[in-house]
Structure 1
Amino acid sequence: MSTSRRGRRSILLSVLAIPTVALLLGSTAQATAIPNNPDQSANKINSINNDIMVHNHALGSQIRRVEGDASTPGTDAAAQQPQPATAIPNQVLATTAGIDVASYQGNVDWASWWGQGKRFVWTKATESTNYTNPYFAQQYNGSYNQGFIRGAYHFATPNTSSGAAQATYFVAHGGGWSGDGKTLPGALDMEYNPYGDTCYGLSQASMGAWIRDFHDTYHAKTGRWPVIYTSTSWWSQCVGTSQTFGDTVPLWVARYASSVGALPNGWGYYTVWQYTSSPIDQDTFNGGLDRVQALANG
């Protein structure tokens, strides 16, 4: 082949190669651009966690938002009526009055609530894995110093991290338990999603598994099973029959009416009933003070 023909062939091959190289370069440029797109799931979680820092959620706040509050002055009297409990068959128990608090109450006048006959309290400790109640020390320790049997609760956000991660965060920030006879096991607050889908985008099976993850982790870290706070309506929608916890977990049920009504699947009786939010969240323990002490003692 002559030198001139070899030169023309080289030029032709070079020209033909240009579109191929351009195509490859274009594909490479497009491929490298994809990882630079923000992770929408991570962004959503960050957005939720940022909002929690400003608008954290108190126990029952989303239940009242969705289900309403039909409690009346007569509800208080009804809540103090003895209720049957299968823990002590064929026996009717007394009741014990209590309250629950969060950052919205600020520094609580514990002497005042003690004077009104309240004897136990749960205070909010944490939400998700980035919020702690700034008033927790005053509320948790102040109630103890007044003589209350006290505990802490965690507002769950199952769409931001695992049950194990949130149980670990809760225990590390005030949600643990001690056998001093004055500390109740920590409570897991399961209620409507403040940010959208009622069940946090989870199926009943996935929600049940998330709660089980929290339940098992809390027990592994404290030696106690958590109390579960919820409403029958939310539980029916979001957990259903996918998991049952009645064998290990005391039920704290929310219903703002003159009677507690039907209970969530898996429980034959309730341990605590949150019956009104006025003038503060008020609760009744299904048993006398000795039963509250028994729960604290484990």
Structure 2
Amino acid sequence: MRRTVTGAAVLAVLAAVVAAPPARADYSLADTNYAGTQIARYEGVQGIPRADPPRQTLGHDVSGHQGPVDWKAAAGAGAKFTYVKATEGTGFVNPQFGQQYDGAHAAGLIRGAYHFARPDVSGGAEQAEYFIAHGGAWRPDGTTLPGALDIEYNPYGEVCYGKSPADMTAWIADFTRTYLAKMHRSALIYTSTAWWKRCTGNTGRFGNTDPLWLARYGPEVGELPAGWEKQSIWQFARGGGLPGDQNYYNGPIGRVQALAKGAS
């Protein structure tokens, strides 16, 4: 016996599809994702840095997996600044953010917040707004660094989040443009040269607008992504007995202070 599909039946099916909730984004690794997690995994460690301490300023970056941080000890060991993970995508806030971010300030460190990018779950503008609303805002108080976008290998799947170089570049531009419009400050971009080449096609469009925070675990900074003539921050080591990862700001403490106060 032949059955006839009525218009009402088709409409009912379409209504059910429209009403179905979207698939939930995967944040199962969010508590252990932090700046450089995947860079270390894909690129490894090539040695210890040969640095010129008088021309560099020591700092750290931390995230929730480290728990409460003893910032007085970090300051006593020479740290002058830090970045703290605030958010990931549009569905995760670091549960340790308050202690880590406010604690760093109380210990006299200049501090900023960073966002772990998830181009696979929502747009760049949406993630910039989420970041700002959950700790990533910049304040002109002289002790707050502009927010940073951590864009690196995808911990959940395909390394470029399934995006073409053109689409990835557009996503980053949406994030940085939105942050600038809301905060009147350019966000830093945290990445590695190898990932940048692979996933953006080595675009040079951000070098004149967004300071570079480069990850490379070796004796020297090495090659920079296209468009940047220098890095502002070099993340040169993982852990090392100090809170979080280790960074050098490319210059004396006065340069860190200038960035916090609004200089580019």
State the TM-score, normalizing by the size of structure 2: 0.91
Paired residue secondary structure (2:55): coil
CA RMSD of aligned residues (A): 2.2
CA contact (8 A) 1:125 1:132 kept: yes
What letter is aligned with 1:293? Q
1:119 and 1:216 mapped to 2: Cα distance? 29
- 2-side partners of 1:222 and 1:142: how far apart? 23
| Runs of 4+ in structure 1 over 6 Å off | 38-41
Is 2:202–2:225's contact at 8 Å kept on the other side of the alignment?
no
1:70 Cα deviation from its structure 2 partner: 2.6
Assess if the C-alpha contact under 8 Å between 1:240 and 1:265 holds in 2.
Answer: no
Q: Secondary structure at the match of 1:24?
A: coil
TM-score between both structures, scaled by the size of structure 1: 0.81
CA separation of 1:41 and 1:155: change in aligned 2, threshold 3 A: farther
Give the aligned partner of residue 52 of structure 2: 81
Deviations 1:23-45 (A, max 9, x none): 334x86577446646999942xx
Question: Can you give the 5+ residue segments of structure 2 that lack an aligned partner in the other structure?
Answer: none
In structure 1, what is the equivalent of residue 256 of structure 2? Answer: 292
**Residues 1:278 and 2:239 are matched in the alignment:** yes
User: What secondary structure, in the 3-state scheme, does the structure 1 residue paired with 2:173 have?
Assistant: helix
> 67, 80, 84: which is aligned to 2:43?
67
Question: Hey, what does 1:184 align to over in structure 2?
Answer: 145
Per the alignment, residue 6 of structure 1 pairs with none
Q: Distance in 2 between matches of 1:167 and 1:117?
A: 32
Partners of 1:41 and 1:281 in 2: CA distance: 39
Query: Which has more radius of gyration?
Result: 1
Aligned to 2:128: 167
C-alpha offsets along residues 35-62 of structure 1, whole Å, 9 cap, x if unaligned? 646999942xx1414x255x44111001
Matched residue type, 1:285: Y
Cα distance in 2, alignment partners of residues 150 and 201 from structure 1: 33
Distance across 1 between alignment mates of 2:114 and 2:102: 14
User: How high is the sequence identity, in percent, across the aligned residues?
Assistant: 47
Residue type of the alignment partner of 2:34: A
SS in 2 for 1:48: coil
Report the structure, 1 or 2, having the larger helix content: 1
Q: Could you list the runs of 5+ residues in structure 1 that have no partner in the other structure?
A: 1-17, 83-92
SS for the counterpart of 1:284 is strand
Residue in 2 that maps onto 1:262: 223
1:86 maps to which residue? none
Three-state SS of the structure 1 residue aligned to 2:201 is coil
